[in-house]
Structure 1
Amino acid sequence: MSKAIRMSRTGGPEVMEYVEVEVGAPGPGEARVRHEAVGVNFIDVYFRTGLYPQPLPNGLGQEGAGVVEAVGEGVTEVKAGDRVAYAGRPNGAYAQVRNLPASLLLALPEKIGFDTAAAMMLQGLTVQYLLHRTVQLKAGDTVLFHAAAGGVGLIACQWARVLGVNLIGTVGSEEKAALAIEHGAAHVINYNKENFTERVRELTGGKGVSVVYDSVGKDTFTGSLDCLAPLGMMVSFGNSSGAVEPFALSELAARGSLFLTRPTLGHYVAQRADLEAAAQSLFGVVASGEVKIAVKQRYNLADVAQAHIALESRQTSGSTILIP
């Protein structure tokens, strides 16, 4: 038997139950992984609350790192004993042991520990596609990145510095501002003290930025559009403050023929070759020390409700992991 988090209804943190589950042999194309660490991400909150629907009862969590215990028929990607990490659906990472598609698993370099891997896969692969594929940034570009002191944000700050990109970050406190600067942000705006749209215009001499990366959603969307230079790209990749309300496409024309995209990691790594290429890019900058993964919060698996409460109340910085 294995301990795992299950939910039979959507709602607050209290719907997550710490229960015993039976984990059988992996089926065809599957591998059984014993987790050493599990990542916690805001997308887990979306599934827990029902914003993102899933069949119930079900588990939560899309990111983990551990050791392969067994593989099913036809599996070629990994073998028993391999150190692995993964990110992606199906949900169920909040568990000591689980079976999952072997096509998601990636062999973990020895230089990267389990805690780091569990904290970086979903967030790091997200930053990889945002900075390298959604828009192919080049040295000298100036971008705005919301929630710059969060798990995704701190990775983005560092990776942007590696690329020679000027990243302007938004944060909610002076402590988080210092953290973002420490990790490579060129400028930081505390949105509780300044109007971030006006400040971006000041910092860019009125020109605006070429790209805005916005995972906040409802509270920042319109202001983010107003930060863009003509022909700029609005990348809306999350909605921690709520879903973006419907708006007229003519708003994009009025602001300078702007581009808008709503990407998700799953589409960027749907092909195994793309997943492996993105992972090698991420593993390379982490193993080299150019990008450091800030694991700022650790909770026992049984205390996952506390992790969600802290995440939703914006009390966290960097990455959060669960220890099974």
Structure 2
Amino acid sequence: MNHQKSTGIVRIEKPGPPEVLKYETVDLPDVKVNEVLINQKAIGLNFLDIMFRDGRFSMDAYPATLGLEAAGVIEAIGTGVTDFAIGDRVAYYGTSGAYTEFKIINSEDIFKLFDDISFDQAAATMIKGLTAHMLIKESYQVKAGDFVLVQAATGGVGSLLSAWARSLGAKVIGTVGSPGKKQLAASRGLDYVIDLQNEDLSERVASITNGKRVDVVYDSIGRETFNQFVKVVRKGGTIVSFGAATGWPEPDRHMMEERGVRYVQGILNNYAGYQNKKSDAVIEVLEKVSEGILQVEPTIYSLSDAALAHADLESRKTTGSIILKS
């Protein structure tokens, strides 16, 4: 039985700039065995989406629908679904095609939301929170007393990563690209903030750490800034690359070997906590939201304005997480 005749959806016909994202209305297929229909209340936007949109990551076929996470309410269930009922509040991550008002999805790919987690909070924190989980627990194990440098500290991942590291007793130094973002980072309780537009990175890190430099740098920018951040890591320290906003890093191997700096690539798709959707990782992320450690006040765009949201994220106009809503 067809429970919903049509849905608003954002698709691309081919890779390209934000303008390739087109909002249209399509007919929905029937809900099949083991599937559910979700009325999506909040859809997460991640930098990963930009990389799928511009062709850095390939889609299986076109036209393609982007998006990897959302939260909403079950409106219909197919035969064979026993763990969920109509009206359940649910969420999912890591399943493509989230940029749609209504989504048909296998019930194995969803989970019930905690009562005290809003749809907006879930859509804004699952993938970014799992990224922070990977960086803090696996790429480098953050300890109390560590000096941790987080690039783009007011961004979606940067905000959560900074808060989580601080909760573990680390001393967090955040870098930002403007005075306005420095003020925002400071208002969120960041220990130290460096405005790269107006302050010298090496001098400020030396001053903050009394010349010791930092134990770990979390780099999300990539090629443009990578090697200057290697210079502020202590001997035997770690630099973790988990993003490539300006292209993948080209490490100065000689400088890193000379100082014994460990280089780690944090790749979410290879992380067991992300791949195994029944793992404790996402539960731990949502628990941190419930406890108030991970706080999100997402910027909201209309689903039909997905192209504008992409353009604003790409040009670094936004701070924190972004979600799309119908």
Which residue of structure 2 aligns with residue 60 of structure 1?
66
Alignment of 1:158-197 (within 5 A): 158-197=163-202
Report the Cα distance in structure 2 between the residues aligned to 1:133 and 1:151, rounded to whole angstroms.
19
Contact 2:227 2:252 in 1 (8 A): no
User: Is the 1:170–1:188 Cα contact (8 Å) retained in structure 2?
Assistant: yes
Give the match's secondary structure for 1:241. coil
Match of 2:131 in 1: 126
Identify the residue that residue 265 of structure 2 maps to in structure 1. 261
Q: Identify the residue that residue 45 of structure 2 maps to in structure 1.
A: 40
Partner of 2:309: 307
1:238 to 2:243 alignment? yes
Deviation at 1:134, TM superposition (A): 2.2
Q: Tell me the secondary structure at the aligned position of residue 271 of structure 2.
A: helix
2:95 to 85, 89, 96: 89
Counterpart of 1:117 in structure 2 is 122
| 1:132-171 paired onto structure 2 within 5 Å | 132-171=137-176
Counterpart AA for 1:122: I
Normalization by structure 2: what TM-score?
0.90
Q: Which residue of 2 aligns with 1:270?
A: 275
RMSD: 2.0
Distance 1:203 1:191 in 2: 15
How many angstroms does 1:231 deviate by? 2.1
How far apart, CA to CA, are the structure 2 residues paired with 1:72 and 1:255?
59
Partner of 2:317, secondary structure, is coil
Report the AA paired with residue 320 of structure 1.
I
1:290-319 deviations in whole A, cap 9, x for unaligned? 321121x21111111111111111111111
- Distance of aligned partners of 1:183 and 1:24 in 2 relative to their CA distance in 1, 3 Å threshold: same
Q: Which of 103-112 and 167-176 deviates more?
A: 103-112
> Aligned pairs, how many?
319
Report the secondary structure of 1:272's partner residue.
Answer: coil
**How much does 1:251 deviate?**
4.2
Contact 1:225–1:255 (8 Å) recurs in 2: no
Give yes or no for the alignment of 1:281 onto 2:284.
Answer: yes
Equivalent in 12, 16, 19 of residue 17 of structure 2: 12
The one-letter code matched in structure 2 to 1:215 is S
| Structure 2 unmatched runs, 5+ | 1-5
Return the alpha-carbon distance in structure 1 between the equivalents of residues 281 and 249 of structure 2. 28
Q: In structure 1, what residue type is equivalent to 2:291?
A: S
Determine the C-alpha separation between the residues in 2 that align with 1:88 and 1:302: 22
Q: Which whole-Å deviations, capped at 9, do the CAs of 1:169-205 have from their partners, x for residues lacking one?
A: 0001222112212223210000111232332233222
Partner of 2:294: 291
Q: Tell me the alpha carbon deviations over residues 101-133 of structure 1, each in whole angstroms, 9 at most, x when there is no partner.
A: 433322111111111211111112211221123
Using the size of structure 1 for normalisation, the TM-score is 0.91
Q: 1:29 to 1:307 in 2, by over 3 A?
A: same
Q: One-letter code of the match for 1:223?
A: Q
Q: Which of the numbers 315, 320, 324 marks the counterpart of 1:322?
A: 324
C-alpha separation between the residues in 2 aligned to 1:51 and 1:36? 29
Supply the distance in 2 between the matched residues of 1:177 and 1:162 (Cα, whole angstroms).
20
Which residue of structure 1 aligns with residue 3 of structure 2? none
Aligned partners of 1:154 and 1:318 also within 8 Å: yes
The range that moved more, 104-113 or 140-149, is: 104-113
Q: Which amino acid aligns with 2:286?
A: F
Residues 176 and 265 from structure 1, CA distance in 2 versus in 1: closer, same or farther, beyond 3 angstroms? farther
Instruction: State the alpha-carbon separation in 2 of the partners of residues 72 and 180 from structure 1.
Output: 46
Identity of aligned residues (%): 39
